[in-house]
Amino acid sequence: MIFDIVVHGLEWASIYTIVAIGFSLIFSASRIINLAQGEFVMLGGLIGFSLYSIHLPLFIIPLISAGAVALVGVAVERMAIYPARKASPTSLIIITIAVSMILRSTAALVWGPYTFRIPGFSTFSFFSLPADYFLIIVVCIASISTIGLFLKKTRLGRSIRACSMDATGARIVGVSPERMRMFSFFISAGLGGMIGVLIAPVFYASSDIGLNLGIKGFCAAVLGGMGSIPGAIAGGIIIGLSEAVGASVASSYKDIIAPLLMLFVLYIKPRGLIGGRD
């Protein structure tokens, strides 16, 4: 029983953490809060389903989906963010909300109001839970480590971190914040797309999962501190586990936990528990 809660909790924690990292990455590079992040996950799942239904091998689907959604992310940045680059942060938030509405409705038009399932990536079962659960957790840990290494060791990663510390200073040493913004959308969208495919066997793919995931992931990001990867991890774990516990105690109230936690943090410590940059 406790094992179930812990596994489910870590499950959700992984998913929310990846979404939260998507938020934090974009915020890091450009101070933009991209409320359409959840829709990238949604698109990943749906594109993954379509690829599956044309019989592509399962192990290649996540990569192609991720790539496709990454391109969508760049398109979003070019068409909706770049023209408004001088606008106030609040206007940009509203713009990303509008983008999420557009993505969601377009997906609903293209794929219809149905819920799709991809069969699992493997048929094993550990302790009576499908292996896909553990696959998600493992892939998330791998992704987080990869991103951490990317940000620390590669030139592109360090450029993004430079922008997050001081955009003008970064410009002075030859880093283009505009380019970094575009890259951050590319990476975050790709990340979201990948996780969307992975969760499709377990949590299904449909055009309305983006909203819920986006909100929870966003709450996780704010909880831990926007712009901070460790913060995203902490936030994801806190919300994931709280929801798992909450679901077993009073299941209909589970979805209110994340927003309440986020409100709590906004009042007490707006920079987040681990203190992202502002």
Partner 1 sequence: MKRSFLFEWIVFIAAIMAVPFIFKYVISYPLEPALRAGFFVMLAVSLTLVVGLAGQISLGHGAFFGIGAYTAAILATKLGLPAFLTIPLGTIAGVITGFLIGYPVLKLKSYYLALATLVVAIAVYEFFKAADALTGGEMGLYNLPNIRAGNFELYSPFSHYYVVWIFALLVIFLCDHFSKSPVGKKLKALHSDEEAAECVGIDVFWTKVKVFVLSSTIAAFAGALFAHCSYGTIYPGEFNVNLSIKIITMVVVGGMYSIYGAAAGAIVISLLPEVIRRLGDFFHMDLTQITHINDIVFGIILIVFMIFSPKGILGKKEEKSASGKRSFLPFWGTGSS
Q: Which stretch binds partner 1 (CB under 8 A): 3-11, 82-90, 133-141, 180-188?
A: 82-90
Burial of 103 (0-12, 13-18, 19+ CB in 10 A): buried
Nearer to partner 1, 85 or 152 (CB): 85
119 near partner 1, judged by CB under 8 A: no
Does 5 help bind partner 1 (rule: CB under 8 A)? Answer: no
CB of 182 to partner 1, least distance (A): 17
Interacting residue with partner 1 among 7, 58, 64, 80 (CB under 8 A)? 80
Q: What Rg do the C-alpha atoms of the chain give, in angstroms? A: 18
To partner 1, the closest distance from the beta carbon of 157 in angstroms equals 26
- Give the alpha-carbon dihedral of 26, 152, 157, 238, to 10 degrees: -20
User: Cα(99)–Cα(87) distance, rounded to whole angstroms?
Assistant: 16
The dihedral built from the CA positions of residue 171, 173, 176 and 181, taken in this order, carries a sign that is negative
Closest CB 243 distance from partner 1, rounded Å = 12
Position 222 contacts partner 1 (CB under 8 A): yes
How far apart CA 188 and CA 214 sit, in angstroms, is 12
Q: Take residue 38 and report the two structure tokens written for it.
A: 């959840």
Residue 215 found at the interface with partner 1 (CB under 8 A): yes
Single-letter amino acid, residue 265: V
Question: Least distance in Å: CB of 208 to partner 1?
Answer: 11
Chain positions 239 to 258 lying near partner 1, rule: CB under 8 A, are 252-256
User: Quick one: DSSP state of residue 206?
Assistant: -
The CA distances from residue 278 to 26, 57, 215, 250, 275, in Å, are 13, 43, 20, 36, 9
Site for partner 1 in 83-102 (CB under 8 A): 83-84, 86-95, 97-99, 101-102
Contact footprint for partner 1 (CB under 8 A): 33, 80, 83-84, 86-95, 97-99, 101-102, 104-106, 108-109, 113, 211, 215, 219, 222, 252-256, 259-260, 262-263, 266-267, 270
